[in-house]
Chain A
Amino acid sequence: MTLLRAEGLSKSFGKTQALDGAGISIRAGEVVAVMGPSGSGKSTLLHCIAGILPPDSGTVHYRDQDLTAMNDSTRSELRRTEFGFVFQFGQLVPELTCLENVALPLRLSGMKRKDAERAATDWLARLEVEDVAGQRPGETSGGQGQRVAVARALVTAPKVIFADEPTGALDSLNGERVMHLLTTAARETGAAVVLVTHEARVAAYSDREVVVRDGRSRDVEFAR
């Protein structure tokens, strides 16, 4: 089942055309790597299909809803309930403990503190970082911080996880561990993953790849 489908996306920043008619299609539960050289438009594509950035033209459909036609509050509600995000760094709230960070999305959805923290504790354990629960993000290693970020992305049981270079700041061993944990958890929960990376060994955790070049994407599935 196609979960997310973007067509004809264009986006310019001033004179720079970041996307030039890009398209992508994501099925439920699949892990798709978005690859391509630096500056080719990978992050811009990810931001557009995740409803973070409005494209200049083109459409983004999530199930039967058109993200580009929604008002802001409907779109951010959809992001909060259906999507999870993992970035290279800087996504955790520095003032909160790791446990509070993971519990935060649930708290924002109105869950009671105790329930939210119990769920957060479970996820920290699944990502093998239960021992940093009481620490603030600044007091963890890069690898631990990314696992906490993955736990936070997964705690709301999203249908799609958007990850932009989630292992970009980690060494090979930690990066691969994060990829293993992320993709294993996603497969267990049935979440799709859109994974932006320029590293082949990271992309090897995907089911297939979409290559972006000069703002255009080459998606074999999309062509079908």
Chain B
Amino acid sequence: MNTPGVYMMCIVAPMSIGHALLGLLEGGPRHGYDLKRAYDERFGQDRPLHYGQVYSTLSRLLKNGFVTDAGVEAGDGPERKRYAITDAGVTDVERWLSTPEKPEPYLQNTLYAKVVLALLSGRSAADVLDTQRSAHLDTMRELTRRKSDGDLADQLICDFALFHLEADLRWLELTAARIDQLAVEVNR
């Protein structure tokens, strides 16, 4: 999975990197480079972590007592320091897993604003919606192709994005069907 840009429309809130790294450390101590690789492989998709992010996150986790120093791996190279998760870290992962993500009103705000502004300015709101539909469908095609070529993990990740884009499109169609009504209300 490495076609850039496909997740531009994707509505997943930025992942809590700290929690993801802690979760990966539950499998045993690792050094920073190893963690970055594991993260990128499983969750990175279009957005691999920068080393800077990994080390700044780890030093924050260290400061908060969620990870601890687990010694230096044999061999040379600058970053052989290994980290282990602490009990407080495990508790934090548990809290993260049991707390639902905030259901965000994602794109509607922007799209709704575009539709209203088009109507207010006498432009075509239907064109705004048609353009958006076409862009959504292009992204959905790309995800669908990727799904066909991918393994189960790819399929599940793409399906998540596909269902969310589909929800946007349903809102779009419903709005398109009510555009005349909305025009009257907006211009009243």
Contacts and interface: CB of A to CB of B under 8 A. Distances in A.
B140 A201 contact: yes
B162 interface: yes
Given A37-B177, A211-B130, A203 B137 contact: yes
A200 B134 contact: no
B148 A204 contact: no
A206 B144 CA distance: 10
Interface in A11-32: none
A201 B143 CA distance: 10
Contacts of B130: 211, 218
Ranked 4 nearest A-B pairs via Cβ: A204-B140, A204-B144, A200-B169, A200-B166
Interface residues of B, number: 19
A201 to B, nearest CB: 5
B177 A200 contact: no
Contact of A180 (B143, B148, B170): B148
Contacts of B80: none
Contacts of B133: 211
A200 B148 contact: no
Contacts of B140: 200-201, 203-204
25 contacts: A37-B173, A37-B176, A37-B177, A180-B148, A184-B148, A199-B166, A200-B137, A200-B140, A200-B165, A200-B166, A200-B169, A200-B170, A201-B144, A201-B162, A201-B166, A204-B140, A204-B143, A204-B144, A205-B141, A206-B141, A209-B134, A209-B137, A211-B130, A211-B133, A218-B130
B109 to A, nearest CB: 21
Contacts of B137: 200, 203-204, 209
Contacts of A211: 130, 133
A205 B137 CA distance: 10
Contacts of B144: 201, 204-205
B81 interface: no
Interface in B120-170: 130, 133-134, 136-137, 140-141, 143-144, 148, 162-163, 165-166, 169-170
